[in-house]
Structure 1
Amino acid sequence: MSVRGTGTGATGAPGSAPGRHVVGREDFLALARARGGARRVALLRAGQLSKRMLLVRALREAAGERVEEAYRGLVALNREDPDAWREVMLQPYLDEGAARTLVALERGEDVDTSWFDRLVRAPYAPEGAPWPRVRTVCEGRVLDVRLADRGPFRDAHGHPLAPPLTGPERERWARTLEEAWRVLVRRHPWHAEAVAACLTTLVPLEPGPDGGGVSSAARRAHGAVAASLPEDPVLLALGLVHEFLHVQLGALLDLVPLHGPPTAARHHAPWRPDPRPAGALLQGTYAHLGVTDFWRAELAAGTGGPRARREYETWHGHTDAAAGTLLGSGELTPAGERFVTELRRAVRRPHPGAPARTAPLTRGRLAAELRALGLGAGDTLLVHSSLRALGPVEGGAETVVDAFLDVLGPAGTLVVYTQTPDNSDPSRWPGTRGYAVPEEQWDRLRERLPAFDPDTTPAFGVGVLPETVRARPGALRSTHPQSSFTALGARARELTAHHAPDCHLGERSPLARLEEAGARVLLLGVGWEVCTAFHLAEYRLPGRPRQTYSCVVGDGAGGRAWYTYTDVRLDSSPFARIGAAYEADAVREGGGDLVRGRVGAADCRLFGLGPAVAHAAVWLADHGAGVP
């Protein structure tokens, strides 16, 4: 595979005759897997250099005398010091500045070109003061970046910029970068190699509106990423990987078209509420390959705990689904199809802790193993699950649902949590969706967010099984617009009816009805941290903090309306400790009502909902949880 580039190698004068850039097959596939390394980064940066040479020539032709002196200085610099010339040409914001200036000149606007002269003279001191430099070394690998806390064109990142850094702020950035770099070198060395070869500039951003972290890459700022400073260096390491892959894909797209011209078609992105053009979905999918890969490695290192497993499973599913959408979109070029196919193979790499693949589980075998665990006819069962932990199943999630119904029988009831926390105000999305959007987009998103419909709105962030149950004929769903449950079986109607719209998971929710019904809970391949039943205990604590929630509901006339209410502030952060304590008590008591076992490859816990809630209420009270 080869493509004609837009310039020569590193030795030509700015804008000299176009040469040829070749992306070989192995290079291309390595980039698709996000395993390009420094050698492929160098290939892409050569392409960026050629692109910028032509941009500079175009700028000279359009601006004339206004940039002639700076242009001649650049030519002289190339003769005298090619390394310094490359540093100027690859300053991240040369591309953005030239593009904006060319557009303004074409429109006949009066444009200030003095930025070009300043950039040529001092590429990393755009306003006279040098950008602070951070150089950190771990196990021989060097990260050398400048903190771009001033200067033009940084607004290309689309988020509020932090003001110029103070001395203590520079020191904090340096410390956090040093810690993040250790994370990358020791646990993600393939990403560390590529990031070090490409990243020269980091733009400090303000935190998101709710104080959460934000990060960004800009299409015409190769070599730069932007981020707010998180408390956790692991999150900064993750942000560097995520945004670097945006940068890397942008450089590849300058050499190899992976999708056709823009069309009116829009495609679902699992991590966003708004459908995306094919190009934007491709960018997001590739960057989230990096996120999936990051959490896979954290799992393998044994350092990420429940968070790593939760994040890995979420982003593995989202990224795999988005790759499938792209492959079925009809908008990829042949090269794009090869790229996304290889990307999807990389997503599907098993992590080292994944159970070994065996012969696919059948409906009959699943039913037998569920009965062996202790489930029986007539049970009312709330299930939290990871089908990936279960292992391969013949027929997939539909077979799993069938097996549950076979065991529970006509008198039993299968219940799943079909939450929709994504139905929330955009200002809350860092907490409810896991990402932030710029404040200037909030009003537009508020106008477009669809109303919750219990019949059609998909569940968010709870896996495949709840969605499969929700879509089953005969399934009934409670009507809470953010915290619904879906039930299938004899008691479905009584369990899901009368879910108060201002009560997520308390006495006026299906959780209380499940407790009254003597329901059991099955954690299938997941940990205590997702045990929704523990939330019922939170409602039973006096003085529990409350907060305001907002979501979109139907207005009864075919339209939509925002609904705002106050309810208990939910906090699942102690659930893993609550569950561990409950399990320890059960062991001391000879097992109690808690059963441990395996179904397929999944580690399972089966227990009574009522006793678990009672234990959680005592634990929370003893530990002072819920006191403002």
Structure 2
Amino acid sequence: MTVELAEYPETTPELGRHQLLWTDFDEIARGDGGPGLVGKLRAAERSRRLLLLRGLVEVGTKSEDLYLPLPSPETAWDLLARVERAAPQELETILSHPYTGTWAGYTTRLYLHDVAGVCPFWVHLGYVHCLAAAAAVRAGISFEVELPVWRGNVVLPTLGLAHLPAEAPYSVATIRSSHGVVEIRNRHSVVRLPVQPYSDAPGWSGLRKAVVWSDDHRLAVRLDDLDPYRGLYEPIPPERLRPVEVESWRTVLDGAWRLLTRHLPGIAEAMSAGLDSLVPAPAMPFRLPSASTGEAFGSAIVAYGEDPATLAAALVHEFQHIRLGGLLHLVRISEDDPRERLYAPWRPDPRPIAGVLHGIYAFLGVTSFWRALAEAQPGHQLAAFEFALWREGVWRTLVTVRTDESLTPAGRRFLDGVAAKLQPWQVEPVTAAARKWAGLAAADHYAAWRTRHLRPDPDTVAELATAWRQGLSRPRCAVTGPAEPRVPTPVPDGDWQDSRTDLIRLRLGPDGAARFAEYASSVPGATGADVCFAAGRMVEAAAGYRNLLAADPDDPAALVGLGLALAARSAGPASRTLLHRPELVRAVHRLLRDEAETPSSVEAIAGWLGRFTH
């Protein structure tokens, strides 16, 4: 496979040609490939960013209304050209900065669709001056240029942020570098950058780094809490970490890196070449959410957590997204299909095909990490659970979409590569406990998704309700079984927080018994019945869910929880229907209870439906 992208002629005298062989493609699909392959993806990203950057300079220069009160974007381009001549490696640092890509894509969309962002367009376009100034500071050349000020903040990407008193939300400041002295000033104040710009100084917040080692393996990332384009969708203000938080990040990152180099050395080696920046997100109790965007190659947004293993899994997850995002800038693996129609066991909502493919690839990496850790540490209950959970969830999802009409031939080949890695893991041994809890967690997620996003056929629901009132044991639709809803709705019917799986992880994690006893009641959204379920006390759990349903029969978590508690003891018709057709149980019960003075219980209706529902 050969991909050609044009470099801007003034930067390179010839058109650049990017080649990704099918053997490279297949390596990436399997989750393999070292720094060399990462370098090929980076080179393509460089071309894409240069094209977007030059396009913004050209359109921005045509109209003063787009860039005033700042100077023309062409002056930033000229400064970047000076940096290229004086210190080309510093230009490369700026071009490879993840948020150069985020900014270029976001600002291009604003211009093309003629929509307003969170700031005036000239502020967004003016980020090109910030990029050029940062490159010039890094190169040590003398220059003077004006920069946008957003609520008193002036960013120098990859370096830090200056804080200037400002009367207006958006204004202009001047940066001047001469004889090694760099100052940023407006009419109210002046900030002098320290000799080491990563350090803090009066009016200046330096961008912190985290450098961790494991034997000869090094990971160096910025902890970026400053850059406005570090988020997913819109520019965001700085959220400065306290020094103690920075040290906590470095400590847990050190532990995560040691695990990765020990158990997934191939991915660790590639990650050291492909992960540049971590955006620290606030800690979330009992979870470690993370995110990334294809335009910010090299960046991951990760919440803080104390467990190195969980952080290691999150890093692998986001690095897989980074690699796939780079690949998708070279080749299409699916057609444009925005329909939110597919179930994914890692999301609470229906997903489009592109999102499912990203999830399959990301969780291939997650599965590989937990597999390696479970193999190295047989007593690690959480690792065994996560491996059992994700190997099956990813495999089932892959099988479902492998023949999807929206896949391109390259997409089918991509999934073949994922399958080649994933399929042998399906028969690897795991403990009975890990298999049991993984099965319950998977059933929980799927049933809750069905309850909230599938709507049964109204005529079928009405027929079933009539048959129940008449005391029939088998309605007419029982011959073929009630029709299966095919098209999910993205609008959820009810709330659900996946608290039971949080409780399972708490119980199986480090110091599980003690931590479960102390913190189980603090898990967000967890009920007493959920705690009993995760503790293995299924009779108490079932009684608790019955009480919750008596108070609120529409509660999806209680509805599914009852099915789980019943199924854990014995597989009967009620549990089967509550886990496989919960949306039908709820719809029939809703219709009946609206008409009866003393409606039957959810469990009774589920048991009746289970006699003829597949």
**Structure 1 97/126 Cα, relative in aligned 2: closer, same or farther at 3 Å?**
farther
2:55 paired with 1:84: no
Query: Residue 159 of structure 1: CA displacement?
Result: 12
Q: CA deviation at 1:105?
A: 3.1
Give the 3 Å change call, closer, same or farther, for CA 14–267 of structure 1 in structure 2: farther
Distance 2:17 2:84 in 1: 20
2:376 aligned with 1:330: no
Q: Alpha-carbon deviations, 1:368-426, whole Å to 9, x = none?
A: xxxxxxxxxxxxxxx9894999xxxxxxx9xxxxxxxxxxxxxxxxxx9996367779x
C-alpha distance in structure 1 between counterparts of 2:227 and 2:567, whole Å? 59
Alignment length, in residue pairs? Answer: 418
- Provide the C-alpha distance between the structure 2 equivalents of 1:285 and 1:190, rounded to a whole number of angstroms: 19
8 Å Cα contact 2:389/2:442 also seen in 1:
no
Alpha-carbon deviation of 1:16? 7.2
- Counting only pairs closer than 5 Å after superposition, residues 16-27 of structure 1 correspond to structure 2 as 18-27=15-24
- SS, match of residue 36 in structure 1: coil
Partner residue in 2 for 1:104: 110
Q: CA deviation at 1:273?
A: 3.1
Q: For residue 528 of structure 1, what is the aligned residue in structure 2? A: none
Aligned to 1:72: 78
Matching residue's letter, 2:265? P
Residue matched to 1:291: 366
Shift of 1:510: 9.8
CA distance in 2: counterparts of 1:560 and 1:119, whole angstroms:
63
List aligned pairs for 1:251-290, cutoff 5 A: 251-264=326-339, 266-290=341-365
Match of 2:209 among 100, 124, 133: 133
**Are positions 1:117 and 2:115 aligned together?**
no
Equivalent in 482, 502, 525 of residue 548 of structure 2: 502
CA-atom RMSD in angstroms: 4.4
More divergent stretch after superposition (257-266 vs 30-39): 257-266
Structure 2: how far apart are the matches of 1:245 and 1:512?
36
Instruction: Measure the CA separation in 1 of the matches of 2:588 and 2:237.
Output: 39
Shift of 1:304: 6.1
Q: Deviations over 1:259-309 (max 9, x none)?
A: 112253622212223221111110011000001111111122126612111
Decide whether aligned partners of structure 1 residues 237 and 293 sit closer, same or farther in structure 2, where only a CA change above 3 A counts.
same
- Is the CA contact 2:350–2:490 (under 8 Å) kept in the aligned structure 1? no
Match of 1:376 in 2: none
User: How far apart are the structure 2 equivalents of 1:385 and 1:233?
Assistant: 21
Does the Cα contact within 8 Å between 2:391 and 2:426 map onto a contact in 1?
no
- Calculate percent identity across the aligned residue pairs: 29
CA–CA distance in structure 1, aligned partners of residues 226 and 23 of structure 2: 40
2-structure distance, mates of 1:94, 1:511 = 48
Deviations 1:484-525 (A, max 9, x none): 99xxxxxxxxxx9998243899xx98999999xxx899xxxx
Of residues 444, 448, 462, the one that matches 2:492 is: 448
Question: In the alignment, is the contact (CA less than 8 A) between 1:195 and 1:244 conserved in 2?
Answer: yes
Residue-by-residue CA offset, 1:209-255 (whole Å, 9 max, x unaligned) = x4632211112111111111111011111111100110110000000
TM-score with structure 2 length normalisation?
0.60
Distance 1:212 1:271, change over 3 A: closer
1:226 is aligned to: 301
- Looking at structure 2, the residues matched to 36 and 80 of structure 1 have their Cα atoms a distance apart, in angstroms, of 34
SS in 2 for 1:220: coil
Partner of 1:34: 31
Q: Within 1, Cα distance between the matches of 2:562 and 2:49? A: 60
CA distance in 2, matches of 1:114, 1:198: 27
Q: Give the 3-state SS of the residue equivalent to 2:130 in structure 1.
A: helix
CA distance in 2, matches of 1:156, 1:514: 40
- Unaligned stretches of 5+ residues in structure 1: 356-382, 390-396, 398-415, 426-444, 453-458, 462-480, 486-495, 522-551, 562-628
Query: How far, CA to CA, are the matches of 2:592 and 2:6 in structure 1?
Result: 52
Residue number in structure 2 paired with 1:370: none
Equivalent position of 1:4 in the other structure: 4
Deviation at 1:330, TM superposition (A): 1.4
Q: Is the 8 A contact 2:391 2:425 kept in 1?
A: no
- State the distance in 2 between where 1:42 and 1:559 align: 62
Counterpart amino acid of 2:444? T
- CA–CA distance in structure 2, aligned partners of residues 108 and 514 of structure 1: 52
- Deviation (angstroms), 1:460: 9.6
CA deviations on 1:107-142 (whole Å, 9 max, x unpaired) are: 175411332211222231252433101112211111
Aligned-partner Cα distance in 2 for 1:256–1:421: 32
Taking structure 1 as reference, are residues 267 and 417 closer, same or farther at Cα in structure 2, changes over 3 Å only? closer
**Match of 1:349, SS?**
helix
Aligned counterparts of 1:498 and 1:84: Cα–Cα separation in 2: 62
Matching residue within 420, 429, 437 for 2:444:
420
The DSSP-based 3-state class of the residue aligned with 1:142 is strand
Give 1:203 shift: 0.5
Q: How far apart are 1:72 and its partner, in Å?
A: 0.7
1:60 corresponding residue in structure 2: 57
Distance 1:72 1:301 in 2: 54
Match of 1:48 in 2: 45
Paired residue for 1:201? 277
Q: Could you tell me how far apart the structure 2 residues matched to 1:163 and 1:154 are?
A: 11
Q: Do the aligned residues in 1 keep the contact of 2:339 with 2:351 (CA within 8 Å)?
A: no
SS in 2 for 1:345: helix
Larger displacement relative to structure 2 (325-334 or 236-245): 325-334
Corresponding residue number in structure 2 for 1:360: none
- Give the equivalent residue in structure 2 for 1:143: 219
Q: CA deviation at 1:338?
A: 0.5
Displacement of 1:60 in angstroms is: 0.8
> Does the Cα contact within 8 Å between 1:41 and 1:248 map onto a contact in 2?
yes
**3-state DSSP class of the match of 2:222?**
strand
Higher helix share: 2
> 8 Å contact 2:381–2:434 — kept in the other structure?
no
Work out the CA distance in 2 between the residues paired with 1:146 and 1:108: 32
Change in 2 beyond 3 A, CA 1:18/1:513: closer
1:93/1:314 Cα in 2 relative to 1: closer, same or farther (>3 Å)? same
Equivalent position of 1:177 in the other structure: 253
1:200: how far off? 0.9
CA distance in 2, matches of 1:55, 1:196: 26
SS of alignment partner, residue 127 of structure 1: strand
Q: Which residue of 2 aligns with 1:573?
A: none
Amino acid at match of 1:124: T
Following the alignment from structure 2 to structure 1, what is the Cα–Cα distance between the partners of residues 367 and 11? 40
AA aligned opposite 1:500? R
Contact 1:133/1:146 (<8 A) preserved: yes
Q: 1:108 to 1:189 in 2, by over 3 A?
A: closer
* SS of structure 1 residue aligned to 2:32: coil
